[in-house]
Amino acid sequence: MTITNPGGLPFQAGRRGGTRFRDLVRHQDDTFVAFARTLTDEEWDRPSLCAGWTNKDVLAHLVLGLRLPPPRLLLAMARRRWSFDAANDALSREYASGSTARELIDAFDRARARSKGIGRLLPAPLMLGDHAVHHLDIAFALGRSGVLSPQVSDAVLAVETRVPNPFIPAAARARGLALRTTDTNWSRSSGGSLEVLGAAESIASVLAGRHHAIPDLTGSGVATLTSRLRNGTRPPFGPSCVVSGQHLDPEVSQIT
């Protein structure tokens, strides 16, 4: 397997690689905050690409990732038979319902400087992918594209195809497929004959399990990739934004 990326994004262990990805996370979060502040309340209330969640629910989920202490998440899971999906759903919905979109954006902007939530346990490459994909969950649902910088899009694709992720089995979905972006210089060869082409954002979103951008992809490997999504290539701990529970949780009001 060969990955081409003129940006020289590092994947080696050590301080240099970690610093590079932390810089990309900061850049992506700057971009997201600027984007978020342009949306109206009506746009925040529209459905996102996360089934059952509004765009505002996704925003609340991002804030909780930076603010909710791990013990609080474990408590919420214990109350729901240790279901991460149900706890994730209930906490995000409750936090969204108790705050305005502007309050949530401000909370995200403050918390990203010093995270104390579950997100701080994620390595920087996975944090970058999580924040970028959720940015796309909101933007694509509003008919917007081109919201990620090329550097971030390429980095997310490289992470999705190379770094194991317990929440999003993107690497398994991409296995054996040659991938090539049509708007950046990123590509990955697999040695096989099946190829998927498309905008970097579209490929990244589909590898993360979102069906929305499949019509934007072309190539002999699209049918295989689509089948893998439809057949439910599931991660061991549940997807990053599956909403299954419906019970709201008062404990989110205690987050400081």
- pLDDT given at position 249: 33
CB neighbours (10 Å) of residue 191? 8
- Burial class, 165, CB count within 10 angstroms (exposed 0-12 / middle 13-18 / buried 19+): buried
- pLDDT given at position 232: 67
- This prediction has a pTM of 0.85
CA dist list (Å): 148 to 84, 209, 217: 28, 18, 18
Question: Cα(24)–Cα(107) distance, rounded to whole angstroms?
Answer: 20
- pLDDT given at position 254: 38
- pLDDT given at position 18: 67
Question: Cα(59)–Cα(44) distance, rounded to whole angstroms?
Answer: 9
Q: Helices 150-162 and 200-207, interaxial angle, to 10°?
A: 30
Q: Are 47 and 53 in contact (CB under 8 A)?
A: yes
Q: Are 54 and 107 in contact (CB under 8 A)?
A: no
Local mean pLDDT, 10-residue blocks, the chain (256 residues)? 46 54 96 98 97 96 92 88 88 94 97 83 91 98 98 97 89 95 94 93 97 97 96 49 36 37
Task: Pinpoint the alpha helices (H) of 142-194.
Answer: 150-162, 170-174
- pLDDT given at position 179: 97
